[in-house]
Amino acid sequence: MVLVAMEDALKGCPGFRPDVVVIGTTSGGMSLGEEFFRALASGKNVAHATRKVRNYVPHQPIIQSLEVFGSDAPVRIISNACASGSNALGIARQLIRDGMATSVLAGGYDAIAELVFAGFDCLKASTPEICRPFDARRSGLALGEGAAMFCLRSGAGELQITGYGSAIDTHHLTQPHPSGRGPEQAMVAALQDAQLPPGSIDYINAHGTGTPLNDSSEGRAIQNVCPSAPTSSTKSMTGHSLGAAGAIEAAFSVAALRSQFLPPNINFREGDPDIALNIVANTSRAARLRNVLSNSFGFGGSNASIILSLT
């Protein structure tokens, strides 16, 4: 996944040579680590598994993919739970803005692993049916996997990351604060960074996991900051790709800006009366977009929001 995403990004930016690479992930090479420990426990194929365990470190897939393209740029891994991908893009943008780099390859990746799946199942956060974010009868998330990469450069461009905000609410290890204060602080910080009023946001790509607690917390934050903005969770289509989610949803946001449409929140049947939002229900529709806000929130109270704009 990392190699394909990196190839796609670099193909669209001929001659791009990153000064630094900033990538968000959570489990990293977890599936390879699982293979090693199973082999160790069983006493079978230990030598083969040992050769693979070095890939367990989260930066290894990035380094190996960079080698394919002849780059030895330093790699910085961001691991802030499911906010990792958005934080990676925000930090990359800060490096450029502050003059510490002129070109940054940034994004996120995560692959499904059995241990991760079991963990979410133990938390009763996984749905036994389909993911339906913000629906009154939502019952949990569906896990996904993927990768997305972006070539960021200094200087003016048609499409830019204009705002970035992060916040920690320190409420609970796995549950967001019910008031939505952490997500709200991240959204407000991103707006302040972009020097934009809340009413200028034309679409919100919500974190929207489909769990009862996340959607109510984020819904309250959106109500407090941008109550009328069209909102959808593209996780309804892709599943929750954890550390990659922010980068993948930034890609959705870029596609929405370039093609001037609102991505749908599929599987939506009935709105939650406690979080009345302007949901883009079930089908996409044309819209005039200039500023899009993308949210990513994670365990431990990690919250990140970025704003992408047509300039």
Q: Tell me the longest C-alpha to C-alpha distance in the chain.
A: 61
Let me know: does 93 contact 80? Beta carbons within 8 Å. Answer: no
- Catalytic residue flag (residue 48): no
Identify the three-state secondary structure at position 125: coil
Take residue 65 and report the two structure tokens written for it: 């993919």
User: Quick count: other Cβ atoms within 10 Å of Cβ 250?
Assistant: 27
Q: How far apart are CA 245 and CA 121, in angstroms?
A: 19
Catalytically annotated residue among 82, 131, 177, 226: 82
- List, in order, residues 6 or more apart from 74 with CB less than 8 Å away: 20, 21
Instruction: State the catalytic residue, choosing from 131, 177, 226, 240.
Output: 240
Residues 6+ apart with CB under 8 A from 208: 133, 134, 214, 215, 218, 231, 232, 233, 235, 236, 265
Beta bridge partners of residue 205, listed in sequence order? 232, 294
Q: Decide if 82 is catalytic.
A: yes
Instruction: Tally Cβ neighbours within 10 Å of residue 79.
Output: 18
Strand partners, 135: 271
- Active-site option among 131, 177, 207, 226: 207
Q: Annotated catalytic, 207?
A: yes
Residues recorded for the chain: 311
Query: What residues are annotated to the active site?
Result: 82, 207, 240
